């Protein structure tokens, strides 16, 4: 796990500050930094040593013949199998790293090497003989890859700050505000930086000398397999268990200490249970709790699970003062970011890094196995007549949300007000930000056509698959890489911690999406087959309790101990006020203080926007 940077076909090589770029990526790779300079390519690498700690694992990695160079961030879990295939073809290896497998694999298979890779990755291979570069990103989007192209020169990096440090001035892309305020993040491949794009998940970018970048998809989610309709539950559960177990075991290879995040939910409990089976008692686990609101604290459940599996457990409790970390976190994200669970993710990553270098997480379980309440609400309303939906939505708009969206009243109002919308807009509307209201919030000069949000909506409304599959697929392609995996990557790598997500394994993902929806949910129970497959590992109190989520009690904190922070940051001279309609912030705060609405997430998003704008002054 590392940070990568590169400049391909540079206009003026002397003006490419590769050392500054690597310094900006130091937290991603604190163990070693080095660079490669050629006529057509300048490549840099900041290493977090995980596998093959010797110099044989250093990058940039040059092929034996000197013609091909690689920089790679991530882990390839099937590198042993590929290595044996390459050895049978006569390829020789100088070390044990998975990086060398990618390099030799390209020499053997060309661009199709990306199809063979199973793991999390972002890489660039520069082929000096062909004067050609291949950039690739993993299927789910676990590892980031940003780039900018000026018609000749392409620069890329693990984070936009590396591009900026290398000598490119980055300006805020205010036309992306509508997407940001609707979703809490800027939907890719756009970013909140003018001229900066990201290589989308499951895509490659090819750049030949004198040409423009060509971006293409190399993998996609499968559709539901009709032949699995007749599959019996025991057979389906056994195959699911085999795939999950294999995914965990493949992610245990490391030459450094390894542990696991443990929330006390279904996904992390299964991961820790399988980890304990593979490694024995004494597995290191880590969890986080929240002060001031028991609805957001799962530490008691995590503690019980840790005791059940004989884990060596460490936990940490977040106080409202943890918002002091926010400015640092905005810097780690290179921009505003609405998901407040980035705070506990960062704190638990810092705590975990004091004990291990690699941690397994339960990321992906909700995405693959129908774990979010909004999925049920979105699908259920598909079966309600339109006139009834219109009436429910009209009634709900007259009801107050109340002090928290986590109360029964808050959830009911939140879901029913969106009932009349088409499926795509309904899913966007369940995000706790400003979906459908950006024109009311933004000043006219900062509004745009909302094209990024419309793309999000059209992808699901134009699909002709089953509603449940459309919901899962849309979430996998949007929220997962745009929010969840960004939060995990930036928060963990900010503390030089590698996080691996077994539940986003390629074979497991493909199996989950091929399964008919009846295996994922029964009535109002999500993750039905997943829970069935691991009945022996899941205590009944874990399997049956409602999903809590990894949220932060912002509603309580912003009305109490952090109220002064809002006073300071949202004062009359606040940068964000020049982007919003007059009175928007004051209205949000008044409604929030009066407990008629829970605007905690919206205020948090605007808070990160304010902090970032101050950084860019």
Q: What is the pLDDT of residue 312?
A: 96
Residue 525 domain flag: yes
Mean model confidence pLDDT for the chain: 89
Domain end marker among 184, 217, 250: 217
Terminal-residue alpha carbon distance, the chain:
32
* Contact call for residues 278 and 307 (beta carbons, < 8 A): no
* Interstrand relation of 154-157 and 119-127 (parallel, antiparallel or unpaired): unpaired
Q: How many domains does the chain have?
A: 3
- Note the pLDDT tens digit of each residue in 382-428: 666 555 555 656 665 555 655 555 555 556 566 666 655 667 777 77
Residue, of 208 and 462, whose pLDDT is higher: 208
Q: What is the pLDDT of residue 16?
A: 97
Q: Name which of 104-113, 271-280, 288-297, 325-334 the model is least confident about.
A: 288-297
Look at residue 371 and give its three-state secondary structure: coil
Burial zone of 417 (CB within 10 Å; 0-12 exposed, 13-18 middle, 19+ buried): buried
Domain end marker among 158, 193, 217: 217
Cα separation, 166 vs 471, whole angstroms: 40
Q: What percent of the chain has pLDDT over 90?
A: 66
Q: Name which of 207-216, 288-297, 348-357, 402-411 the model is least confident about.
A: 402-411
Residue 424 domain flag: no
Cα separation, 556 vs 563, whole angstroms: 10
Are residues 522 and 561 both part of a single domain? no
Output the CA angle 285-374-423, nearest 5 degrees.
140
Are residues 265 and 315 both part of a single domain? yes
Are residues 208 and 93 both part of a single domain? yes
**Mean pLDDT value of segment 325-354:** 92
Of 554, 493, 150, 204, the C-alpha closest to 334 is 493
Q: Is the pLDDT of residue 522 over 90?
A: no
Cα separation, 443 vs 483, whole angstroms: 26
Residue 24 domain flag: yes
CATH of the domain at 249: 3.40.50.620
Q: What is the pLDDT of residue 464?
A: 47
Domain end marker among 509, 544, 579: 544
Q: Is the pLDDT of residue 535 over 70?
A: yes
Are residues 66 and 95 both part of a single domain? yes
Residue 401 domain flag: no
Range of the domain at 268: 226-369+474-544
Are residues 20 and 74 both part of a single domain? yes
């Amino acid at each position: 796990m590392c940070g990568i940077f590169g400049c391909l076909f540079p206009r003026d090589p002397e003006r490419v500050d590769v050392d500054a770029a690597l310094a900006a990526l130091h937290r991603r790779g604190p163990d070693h930094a080095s660079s490669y300079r050629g006529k057509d390519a300048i490549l840099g690498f900041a290493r977090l040593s995980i596998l093959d700690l010797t110099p044989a694992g250093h990058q940039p990695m040059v092929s034996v013949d000197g013609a091909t160079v690689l920089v790679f961030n991530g882990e390839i879990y099937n590198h042993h199998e590929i290595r044996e295939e390459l050895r049978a073809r006569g390829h020789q290896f100088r070390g044990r790293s998975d990086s060398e497998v990618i390099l030799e694999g390209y020499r053997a298979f060309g661009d199709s090497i990306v199809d063979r890779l199973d793991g999390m990755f972002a890489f660039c291979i520069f082929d000096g003989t062909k004067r050609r570069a291949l950039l690739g990103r993993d299927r789910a989007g676990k590892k980031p890859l940003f780039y900018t192209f000026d018609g000749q020169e392409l620069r890329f990096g693990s984070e936009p700050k590396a591009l900026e440090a290398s000598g490119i001035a980055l300006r805020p892309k205010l036309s992306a505000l509508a997407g940001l305020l609707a979703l809490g993040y800027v939907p890719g491949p756009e970013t909140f930086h003018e001229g900066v794009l990201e290589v989308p998940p499951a895509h490659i970018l090819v750049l030949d000398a004198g040409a423009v970048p060509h971006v293409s998809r190399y993998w996609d989610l499968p559709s539901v397999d009709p032949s699995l309709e007749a599959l019996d539950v025991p057979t389906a559960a056994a195959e699911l268990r085999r795939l999950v177990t294999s995914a965990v075991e493949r992610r245990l290879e490391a030459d450094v200490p390894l542990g696991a995040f443990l929330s006390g939910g279904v996904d992390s409990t299964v991961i820790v249970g399988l980890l304990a089976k593979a490694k024995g008692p004494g597995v290191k686990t880590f969890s986080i709790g929240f002060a001031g609101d028991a609805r957001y604290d799962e530490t008691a459940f995590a503690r019980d699970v840790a005791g059940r599996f004989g884990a060596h457990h460490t936990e940490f409790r977040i106080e409202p003062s943890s918002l002091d970390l926010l400015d640092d976190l905005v810097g780690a994200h290179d921009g505003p970011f609405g998901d407040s669970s980035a705070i506990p993710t960062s704190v638990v990553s810092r705590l975990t890094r004091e004990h291990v270098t690699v941690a397994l997480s339960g990321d992906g379980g909700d995405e693959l196995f129908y774990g979010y309440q909004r999925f049920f609400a979105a699908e259920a309303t598909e079966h309600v007549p339109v006139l009834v939906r219109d009436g429910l939505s009209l009634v709900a708009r007259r009801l107050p949300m109340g002090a928290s969206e986590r109360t029964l009243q808050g959830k009911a109002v939140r879901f029913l007000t969106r009932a009349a919308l088409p499926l795509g807009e309904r899913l966007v509307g369940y995000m706790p930000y400003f979906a459908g209201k950006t024109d009311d919030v933004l000043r006219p000069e900062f509004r745009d056509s909302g094209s990024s949000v419309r793309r999000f909506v059209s992808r699901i409304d134009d699909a002709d698959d089953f509603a449940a599959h459309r919901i899962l697929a849309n979430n996998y392609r949007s929220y997962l890489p745009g929010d969840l995996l960004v939060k995990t990557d930036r928060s963990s790598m900010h503390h030089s911690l590698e996080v691996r997500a077994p539940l986003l394994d390629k074979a497991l993902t493909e199996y989950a999406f091929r399964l008919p929806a009846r295996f994922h949910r029964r009535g109002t129970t999500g993750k039905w087959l997943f829970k069935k497959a691991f009945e022996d590992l899941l205590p009944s109190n874990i399997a049956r309790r409602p999903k809590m989520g990894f949220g932060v009690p912002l509603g309580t904190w912003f009305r109490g101990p952090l109220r002064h922070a809002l006073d300071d940051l949202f004062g009359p001279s606040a940068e964000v006020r020049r982007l919003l309609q007059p009175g928007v912030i004051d209205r949000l705060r008044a409604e929030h203080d009066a407990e008629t609405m829970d605007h905690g997430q919206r205020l948090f998003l605007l808070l990160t926007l304010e902090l970032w704008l101050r950084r860019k002054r």
